Amino acid sequence: MSPRTTRMPTIPQIHTYLRANGWESQPPGIAGTIWNRHDAMIGIPSDIADAPGISKGIVERIARFERKSISDVALSIRYHLMDVTYLRAANDRAITDTIPFESASTLIASARRLLRAVGTTAWRERGDIGGNYARQGDSVLRKSRMDHTQEGSFIIPILIPLPPVEETGTITQPQIEGLELLRAAPEPFERRVTRTLAQSLMAVREIIVEPERSPSGDDLHAVIARGVSKEFCSALARILSEPSVSEFETSFDWAPAVPAPETIPESVTIESDASGKIEEVANRLKKHRDDSTSTFSGNIVELRHVGNDEFGFATISTIRRGRRSEIRVRLPYEAYQEAVIWHRARRAVIVQGEVRHGSGRKLVVEHPVNFRPIDEILLQFPAEQ
């Protein structure tokens, strides 16, 4: 897709960027505030009536300090706390730069339905939402923004603002001899929504579209666990069925402020001739009854292992029964070592197993049936009975 158009960030965005990158602000004066880092100094005036002009001058000084181009720094600041999803509909990448107005209207309306659907399934996986949209997902939808369109057939950027997150790192507790403990910040729900959109599109393409056979019951279970719903499939099929659309491409730029998943593909493309197959799955999901009580997904936020113990524990930050939860999964040491690797790559995982209350009323899965990165699409579930 085309690169993002360079526009100057706002003063509040500059403040956030400076703070996140180690700049320290001095007490504000009458004219403004001085920010320092090492031997560098940048002044930001209090009077921002001419915000675009002021922003450009500040960005230029930051760019000189970072030894980067002005456009790169402006983009880094502007999108520091923004996940950006680019939606592209086209019938010829090389020569087409417009799209019929009716098709554009369908794309925008259906894109809203896609985002609303994953806002709900990011909170609770379900094959048929049936009008019971999660208010948490709708809140993310209300905060989302549409940026200016770009060249390249028909491309629109959707911006999802993220909240600042706490620092991550290794925590040591000397009072427990031999303890290996790694703790990370939970994934913001806003990021979980965008990630669910990406993995849902991946699942549709690789589990529903690409195989020549019709999806099995296990396939439906797998796509639901990754955030796919009837409403999601219906909205996607509607985009693909537009006569002027031969393919629908979605690409993702993750906010620099929040560690991004390393193994989610940068873009997912689905051809228009898949619309019928996707609509068929939408109808099946309406009738499909899926028990998701023993399946959950999320990021690894804690890894714990003591001495020569044959088992370690990975704690997953997830959403269970409408609440944010942390569920500890007991793993053989070899699987625990794999979990450490997945954690470092920021790969969300999907877990299947019975959740029980352990010591201290903590949720735990003692014997997981499956524990795999969620981006490994061909996850094997037990055969249907």
DSSP codes, 89-148:
EES-TTT-----HHHHHHHHHHHHHHHHHHHHHTTS--S--TT---HHHHHHHHH-EE--
Radius of gyration of the chain (CA): 23
Same domain membership, residue 229 and residue 137: yes
pLDDT, average across residues 155-179: 68
DSSP track, 321-351: TTEEEEEEEEEEHHHHHHHHHHHHTT--EEE
- Within a domain: 51: yes
- Verify that 35 and 89 share a domain, yes or no: no
Domain closes at, from 33, 62, 79: 79
Range of the domain at 47: 11-79
- Same-domain check for residues 59 and 24: yes
- Nearest to residue 9, comparing CAs of 65, 68, 66, 57? 57
**Residue 72 DSSP code:** H
In this prediction, residue 305 carries a pLDDT of 92
Residues 192, 156, single domain; the answer is yes
219 and 146 inside one domain: yes
In this prediction, residue 83 carries a pLDDT of: 94
53 in a domain, yes or no?
yes
> Does residue 119 share a domain with residue 246?
yes
pLDDT, position 260: 84
Asked if residue 97 is part of any domain, the answer here is yes
The span from the CA of 193 to the CA of 121, in Å, is 8
| Tally of structural domains, the chain | 3
Q: Is position 173 within any domain?
A: no
Asked if 266 and 194 sit in the same domain, the reply is yes
Would you mind telling me the total number of residues written for the chain in this entry? 385
* Nearest one of 125, 159, 156, 122 to 138, comparing CA atoms: 122
Measured distance between the N- and C-terminal CA atoms of the chain, rounded to whole angstroms: 45
Residue 197 and residue 121 share a domain: yes
Give the pLDDT confidence of 65-75 residue by residue, as tens digits: 999 999 889 98
Report yes or no on 349 lying in a domain.
yes
pLDDT grade for 101, boundaries at 50, 70 and 90: confident
pTM: 0.85
- pLDDT at position 169, please? 47
Tell me the C-alpha distance between 297 and 318, whole Å: 6
In a domain, 2, yes or no: no
CATH code at 348?
2.40.50
Give yes or no: residues 159 and 249 share one domain.
yes
Residue with tokens 């703070």: 19
The residue from 220, 254, 286 where one domain ends is 286
- Does one domain contain both 307 and 249? no
Residue at 263: amino acid letter: T
Same domain, 110 and 128: yes
Does residue 138 belong to any structural domain of this protein? yes
Q: With contact defined as beta carbons under 8 Å apart, do 246 and 84 qualify?
A: no
Could you tell me if residue 206 is inside a domain? yes
Here the CATH number for the domain that contains residue 59 is 3.30.160
Between 171 and 14, where is the model more confident?
14
pLDDT value of position 168: 46
Residue 359: the pLDDT is: 79
* End position of a domain, from candidates 54, 79, 104: 79
Tell whether 232 and 323 lie within a shared domain: no
Cβ burial of 79 (10 Å; 0-12, 13-18, 19+) is buried
Mean pLDDT along residues 368-373: 93
Instruction: Report the amino acid identity of residue 90.
Output: A
Whose CA is closest to 70, among 7, 121, 23? 7
The predicted model gives 188-192 an average pLDDT of 95
